[in-house]
């Protein structure tokens, strides 16, 4: 049966235990302050406080926010700016410069940002752009506290499923997994990683556990699904001007090849998925096409419908909740933990329209 919520005062050891899991580097004074709280009161303080704005990183020699302006020192290399970004990100984790009364809540939010990075991973050397890394980090920050109303993201779109849609055309992700060279489904890297690492997972690694699986297929998706996914995600490229702004997040994202009225590198044929996805077909919405040509809107709509299809599979919630458990609790998941805890977490995830914050709050 599910775990019973802890209702008594945390005490010093309990407060230290909770704050080590939920934040970075709690002080003795902060632990003492939380020791008299119940778990529910502590969670309220950590995840439901108004937080100060996040200042952008600056070039320490000029004090200018190059990530916003794009203006860099001609004598400096891009890797130096990537180092500035990483130092800034660590500073956010440690809530540097944040007032004492808000520092723990700020740190808790930043731990959620880092957690999202452990699912939707990034490699600085491959991305090759400190600005793209910054805007992806800001994207994750917008969605980290998805259980609290946002002044930016519409309420209906503030959840992990919608974040998965946004990151699919994020500039950093386009560079990382070769989406920027995916023309008409010719590059499968992002589609494969989305299924394998970012959403539903591979499941049992054998081709003979059930009828219908062939060489290269996995339990929860097949090679056919990877190939169809590559076609869904085709036609976008890195925007080095950071000029294309997503209407929901107000952050830069990638752009379509061609134009918004003729996304010429997008595969406009119907995409046929396997029995693992109910033999679903994703075809362009004729109301969004420009004659017979794909548009930016029709391509984004296909991405949205495919990710909806992924999240319609029960295993997707289970997979993401196992990620949450391993990050905040422990790496080993036994059958008992899977039955009594992971399944309850997944039910909470689905019931809250795929928001991760309610799941993490309940777990902690």
List, in sequence order, the alpha helices (H) in 188-313: 189-193, 223-232, 296-311
- Left, alpha or beta for 152 (phi > 0: left; psi -120 to 50: alpha)? alpha
* Full-model pTM: 0.95
The predicted pLDDT at position 3 comes to 75
**Residue 22 is encoded by which pair of tokens?**
């939920």
Can you spell out the DSSP letters for 91-103? HHHTTTT--HHHH
62 to each of 59, 76, 133, how far by Cα in Å?
5, 12, 20
- What local confidence, expressed as pLDDT, does residue 5 receive? 87
Q: Kindly state the tokens that stand for 147.
A: 């259980």
Put residue 290 in one of left, alpha, beta given phi > 0 → left and psi -120 to 50 → alpha. beta
In this prediction, residue 205 carries a pLDDT of 53
Q: At what angle do helices 296-311 and 223-232 cross, to 10 degrees?
A: 150
Looking at residue 207, what is its pLDDT? 46
Strands 255-256 and 236-237: antiparallel
| Residue 48 to residues 6, 34, 109, 147, 309, Cα–Cα distance (Å) | 19, 15, 10, 9, 31
Query: 19 and 30 in contact (C-beta within 8 Å)?
Result: yes
pLDDT of residue 212: 61
Quote the DSSP letter at residue 208.
Answer: S
Counting as low any pLDDT under 70, the low residues of the chain are 1-2, 204-215
pLDDT tens digits for range 19-57: 999 999 899 999 999 999 999 999 999 999 999 999 999
Report DSSP letters for 301-322, one per residue: HHHHHHHHHHHTSHHHHHHHHH
CA distance 54 to 353: 27
Q: What is the pLDDT of residues 273-296, one digit of tens each?
A: 999 999 999 999 999 999 999 999
Where helices occur in the chain by DSSP H, the ranges are 11-22, 28-35, 39-47, 66-69, 78-93, 100-119, 124-127, 130-144, 160-167, 171-176, 189-193, 223-232, 296-311, 314-328, 335-337, 343-351, 356-363
The per-residue pLDDT for 209 is 53
Q: 325 with 210: CB under 8 angstroms?
A: no
């Amino acid at each position: 049966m599910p775990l019973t919520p802890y209702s008594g005062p945390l005490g010093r050891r309990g407060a230290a235990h909770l704050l080590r899991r939920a934040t970075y580097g709690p002080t003795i004074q902060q632990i003492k302050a939380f020791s008299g709280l119940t778990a529910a009161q502590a969670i309220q303080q950590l995840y439901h406080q108004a937080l100060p704005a996040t200042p952008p990183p600056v070039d320490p020699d000029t004090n200018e926010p190059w990530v916003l302006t794009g203006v860099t020192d001609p004598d400096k290399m891009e890797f130096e700016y990537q180092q500035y970004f990483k130092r800034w990100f660590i500073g956010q984790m440690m809530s540097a410069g944040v007032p004492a009364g808000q520092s723990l809540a700020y740190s808790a939010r930043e731990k959620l940002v880092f957690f999202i990075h452990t699912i939707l991973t990034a490699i600085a050397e491959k991305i090759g752009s400190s600005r793209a890394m910054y805007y992806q980090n800001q994207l994750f920050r917008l969605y980290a506290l998805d259980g609290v109303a946002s002044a930016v993201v519409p309420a209906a779109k503030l959840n992990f499923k919608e974040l998965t849609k946004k990151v699919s055309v994020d500039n950093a992700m386009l560079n990382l997994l070769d989406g920027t060279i995916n023309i008409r489904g010719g590059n499968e890297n992002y589609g494969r990683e989305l299924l394998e690492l970012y959403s539903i997972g591979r499941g049992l690694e054998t081709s003979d556990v059930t009828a219908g699986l062939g060489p290269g297929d996995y339990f929860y998706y097949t090679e056919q699904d990877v190939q169809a996914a590559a076609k869904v995600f085709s036609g976008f490229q890195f925007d080095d001007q950071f000029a294309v702004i997503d209407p929901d997040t107000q952050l830069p994202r990638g752009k379509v090849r061609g134009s918004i009225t003729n996304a010429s590198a997008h595969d406009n044929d119907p995409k046929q998925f396997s029995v693992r996805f109910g033999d679903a077909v994703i075809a362009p919405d004729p109301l969004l096409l420009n004659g017979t040509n794909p548009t930016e809107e029709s391509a984004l709509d296909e991405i949205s419908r495919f990710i909806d299809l992924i999240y319609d599979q029960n295993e997707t919630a289970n997979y993401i909740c196992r990620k949450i458990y391993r990050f905040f609790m422990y790496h080993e998941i036994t059958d008992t933990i899977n039955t009594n805890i992971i399944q309850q977490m997944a039910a909470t995830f689905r019931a809250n329209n795929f928001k991760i914050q309610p799941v993490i709050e309940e777990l902690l």
